Amino acid sequence: MNASELASSYELVVIGGGPAGLAAAALAAKAGVQTVLFDENPGVGGQIYRGITTTPVVNRAILGDDYWAGAALAAEAKASGAAIVNGATVWTLDPNRVVGVSIAGQARMIQAKRVIVATGSMERPFPIPGWTLPGVMTAGAAQTALKAQGLVPTGRTIMAGCGPLLWLLAAQLLRAGAKIEAILDTTPRINWLKAARHVPDFLLSPYRSKGLALLREVKGRVPVIAAHRVEAHGKDKLAEVVFATGAGERRMKADLLLLHQGVVPNVNLAMAAGVAHRWNSRQLCFEPVVDADFSTSVRGIAVAGDGAGIAGGTAAAERGRIAAIAAVEVLKRGASVTNVQTLRQSLAREGMGRAFLDTLYQPAPSFRRPVGDTVACRCEEVTARQVRDTADLGCEGPNQMKAFLRCGMGPCQGRLCGLTVTELIAEQRRSTPEEVGYYRLRPPVKPITLAELASLPKTEAERKAVER
Amino acid sequence: MARTADVVVIGGGIHGCSTALHLALRGLKPVVIEKDYAGRHASGVNAGGVRQLARDHAEIPLSVSSMALWERIEDLVGDNCGFESHGTVLVAESEAELAGFRARVDDLRLKGFTHEELIDQAELRRLVPAVSEHCPGGVVSRRDGAADPFRTTQAFRRRAIERGAEVIEGVRVTGLSRVGDIWRVETSGGPIEAPKVVNAAGAWADRIAAMLGEPVPLTVIAPMLMVTSRLPAFIQPVVILRGRKLSFKQLGNGTVVIGGGHLATPYRDRNQTVLDWEKLAISAATVWELFPVMRQATIVRAWAGIEASMADGIPVVGPSATSEGVFHQFGFSAHGFQLGPGTGAVMAELVATGKTNVPIADLAITRFGSTKLSS
């Protein structure tokens, strides 16, 4: 579908085609709601099910059963009657639910009665010395290349970090034939003590058996070394990884370093729409304030999936359905939908192991709050020292910091430095991330070209459709 | 007991901070009350144009006196504020438009102002090589330039504090009352007493005026701006249009700021603006036509700052008509940034001495038919 074929308004606009978005669109469309789903990738699936309808990785054992569960969601959404538009980048959403979308270089403004933001999560920044060198990338990017193109790293590969996804990707890469020299486990030892009280819940959760099996699978094939400092060294590209262990400093030659220390909600679109956010002190990130139906502080806008706080893919689909039911109740009163109570119960069950995982895999402060010349903002090449010094001079928040250092003002719109800058300011000023706050995000949340913007239709009828 | 000061300045924008600095330089003790933080709104997020060009006659004297301060801004505030002077060019898109510009420039010369200079197509092409070929000429103000607005406001704030001013942020004014010769300013952080008050509250200034029984017809506006990713350097002066709404400049880092006065919807009680992308698309189309070199540029951010606009497009500067000891400094109608340094100096002179040599009579609040001085 191209931009000019879109209706000027929809009852429900779903943004993002991962589990939350697919489940939400399917449920709403089946209940008779006029629904469009915009997804910026060539195919649906989001990150977790990326390439679900197109992946060249046909051996189902490599990506695993949890990945292939996405196929049913995609099929259900496709059959539901929802308009599913891929290659559609949503670059603005405002509090009046006007959605700006670009498809193949053509922009359109669409009015929605309800919006479900299902923009999911992104990887937490991992600012270590040398993280901007070619040859250093996020584990998520490597997973994307595997799912979408079937690409497997060659050469000497080291992984570093912590979190369930690190182990999942390691297992997937190994199954696909990659060789991993070592995994540097940065999980702080003290986290095991802190997480201990959450063990009983975790033992009852679906994560337990899957997680332990993954750990066994990976640890049987790759040396796992506990590290409390990791640096990427090299002149023009990565040459070696230097890390500190309990037994002293070690060095390993490497061609590829894959970094990962968990995922955090991708808040840019919801924040730009004016949705109220708060600091989650267990997950160490900002998340939108939502009610039991995932409605936000802005009327008519819900955030479902990991964008509303990290809970995983299965929970994301359930959250999407719950948000969709709330939309159906307003838009198509009396339509028959799934019992929301059942969904809430399975969502609660899904969440049981979360406290344990969140606490265990909380990244160490030294991996979140860099020092010295380590780059904090990659777009504008701002170092940790600059941010710390400017905070010491009296700069109280990230928005003032933008004006002093331009950090967060590049094309990534702060995705790669937002949390780092907030935490650095909080540390220097002996404040809290909650107090310090986050960048005030401005649309377009994804860059658009001047030509694209100039292509917006400007007829009277179009204007009337959006001005109310 | 209430804290005391010589002057309470309401509002920590460029105007409030500039007035506080100039008051402090005169040996007075000002306290600035700012409900958010200094430069949070229009002062921190405007286009940064430092422009004498194309101003209303009533504010030209202020603008000219301000320009003199801009040219020694580092001496004044201890920071160069990112100020660079490459001129502002008003581009004529037709011969008819150019004829109108010629009449204005001639008229200004008769009044003794020489900062605006008519230029032909050759000079236009020399100053702005990237401009589209259909433009026959324009007007240049060669001493104009641009600065970094937030940095400038912060520099005034910092220097004001160094010279003895106090700046209280995150505190809002809730009431004003007169006790003898003293104004008692009620704030969310407790009362402050001072003989003089300056209302530099920007988009919220009408509420302060209303507390004084002096309602003014102020419109809250939010002019939209957008900025591109970095491009190779291709233009030095700030470019503005008259017929179509456009202002345009490339910063030192290569990014291009596009503005011109299309408005977002402001919600001043929520510190929020909602952008109008249909209108930004008009700006994009204008740039697309005028600067072919920009066609593949990427827009990375758009925003709007909340400020006050008066019906006649010129600010309110001068004493209150109802309340002795109170002075107004607001309503700069989308072109107050350049006026900040000079207006602060004039206001400090007015507060300290009761008069100023810079002609500001046409900017008095009485032009809106306010009541006479009551006390």
Domains of chain A, start order: 3-122+264-337 (3.50.50.60), 125-261 (3.50.50.60), 369-436 (1.10.10.1100)
Facing residue for A92 by CB, picked from B150, B277, B298: B277
DSSP code per residue over B182-229: EEEEEETT--EEESEEEE--GGGHHHHHHHTT----EEEE-BEEEEEP
Residue to mutate among B301, B303, B306, with most A CBs inside 10 A, is: B301
* A450:B39 CB<8 A: no
* A450:B296 CB<8 A: yes
Q: Does B271 touch chain A (CB under 8 A)?
A: no
Q: What's the DSSP call for residue B331?
A: -
Residue A212 — very low, low, confident or very high, per pLDDT cuts 50/70/90? confident
Of residues B368, B231, B225, B245, the one with CA closest to residue B292:
B231
* B299:A448 CB<8 A: yes
User: What are the tokens at B127?
Assistant: 């100053």
Please check the confidence at residue A348 and state whether its pLDDT lies above 70. Answer: yes
Put simply, the chain A residues between 91 and 120 with a CB less than 8 A from any chain B CB are: 92, 94-96, 98, 100, 107, 109
> Which pLDDT tens digit goes with each residue over A299-326?
999 999 999 999 999 999 999 999 999 9
Residue A465 — very low, low, confident or very high, per pLDDT cuts 50/70/90? very low
Q: What is the mean pLDDT of residues A229-240?
A: 97
Of residues B275, B222, B231, the one with CA closest to residue B249:
B231
Please check the confidence at residue A463 and state whether its pLDDT lies above 80. Answer: no
C-alpha radius of gyration, chain B, whole number: 21
Strands A136-138 and A256-261: parallel
Report ipTM for this prediction: 0.88
At A96 the three-state DSSP class reads coil
User: What is the spatial distance between Cα A312 and Cα A256, in angstroms, rounded to a whole number?
Assistant: 27
Q: Which residue of A has its CA nearest to B282?
A: A454
User: What is the spatial distance between Cα A12 and Cα A400, in angstroms, rounded to a whole number?
Assistant: 37
Asked whether the beta carbons of B255 and B82 are under 8 A apart, the reply is no
Q: Does B234 touch chain A (CB under 8 A)?
A: no
Q: What percent of chain B has pLDDT over 70?
A: 98
Residue A410 pLDDT: 86
Cα distance from A424 to chain B (closest Cα, Å)?
20
Q: What is the mean pLDDT of residues B283-290?
A: 90
Please report where in the chains the tokens 């182990």 appear, as a residue.
Answer: A167
Q: Which residue of B has its CA nearest to A458?
A: B278
Selected residue with higher pLDDT from B133 and A248:
A248
Please check the confidence at residue A446 and state whether its pLDDT lies above 50. Answer: yes
User: What is the spatial distance between Cα A75 and Cα A43, in angstroms, rounded to a whole number?
Assistant: 12
Cα–Cα distances in Å, from A374 out to A60, A133, A212, B284?
40, 12, 35, 37
Cα distance from A298 to chain B (closest Cα, Å)?
12
Cα distance from B244 to chain A (closest Cα, Å)?
15
Please report where in the chains the tokens 């937030």 appear, as a residue.
Answer: B150
C-alpha B27 chain-centroid distance: 26
Asked whether the beta carbons of A85 and A37 are under 8 A apart, the reply is yes
Q: What is the mean pLDDT of residues A286-303?
A: 98
Residue A460 pLDDT: 47
Residue A363 pLDDT: 97
> Which pLDDT tens digit goes with each residue over A156-170?
999 999 999 999 999
Residue B64 pLDDT: 95
Q: Which residue of A has its CA nearest to B169?
A: A396
* A413:B300 CB<8 A: yes
* A454:B278 CB<8 A: no
* B295:A450 CB<8 A: yes
> Which pLDDT tens digit goes with each residue over B248-275?
999 988 999 999 889 999 999 999 999 9
Residue A458 pLDDT: 61
Put simply, the chain B residues between 289 and 318 with a CB less than 8 A from any chain A CB are: 294-303
**Mean pLDDT lowest among A150-159, B190-199, B291-300:** B291-300
**Mean pLDDT lowest among A54-58, B39-43, B203-207:** A54-58
Contacts of B181 (CB under 8 A, 6+ apart): B195, B325
* Mean pLDDT, rounded, of chain A: 94
Cα distance from B299 to chain A (closest Cα, Å)?
5
Asked whether the beta carbons of A87 and A37 are under 8 A apart, the reply is no
Q: Does A300 touch chain B (CB under 8 A)?
A: no
Q: What's the DSSP call for residue B293?
A: G
Q: Does B269 touch chain A (CB under 8 A)?
A: no
Residue A462 pLDDT: 47
Please check the confidence at residue B323 and state whether its pLDDT lies above 50. Answer: yes
Beta bridge partners of B249: B257
Residue B68 — very low, low, confident or very high, per pLDDT cuts 50/70/90? very high
User: What is the spatial distance between Cα B307 and Cα A260, in angstroms, rounded to a whole number?
Assistant: 44
CA atoms within 13 A on the CB side of A266: 19
Please report where in the chains the tokens 């694209």 appear, as a residue.
Answer: A452
Asked whether the beta carbons of A367 and A394 are under 8 A apart, the reply is no
Please report where in the chains the tokens 């939010």 appear, as a residue.
Answer: B222
At A404 the three-state DSSP class reads helix
Q: Exposed (0-12), middle (13-18) or buried (19+): which is A297, by Cβ within 10 Å? A: middle
Look at the pTM and tell me if it is higher than 0.95: no
Residue A461 pLDDT: 46
* Mean pLDDT, rounded, of chain B: 94
Asked whether the beta carbons of A254 and A230 are under 8 A apart, the reply is no
Q: What percent of chain B has pLDDT over 90?
A: 92
Please check the confidence at residue B317 and state whether its pLDDT lies above 50. Answer: yes
Selected residue with higher pLDDT from A217 and A207:
A217
**Mean pLDDT lowest among A84-93, A345-354, B316-325:** A345-354
Residue B326 pLDDT: 98
Residue B289 pLDDT: 87
Please check the confidence at residue A216 and state whether its pLDDT lies above 80. Answer: yes
Of residues B276, B278, B254, B229, the one with CA closest to residue A447:
B229
Q: What is the mean pLDDT of residues A422-437?
A: 97
> Which pLDDT tens digit goes with each residue over A54-100?
899 989 999 998 899 999 999 999 999 999 999 999 999 999 999 99
User: What are the tokens at A274?
Assistant: 């004016």
Please check the confidence at residue A214 and state whether its pLDDT lies above 50. Answer: yes
Residue A29 pLDDT: 98
Please check the confidence at residue B243 and state whether its pLDDT lies above 90. Answer: no
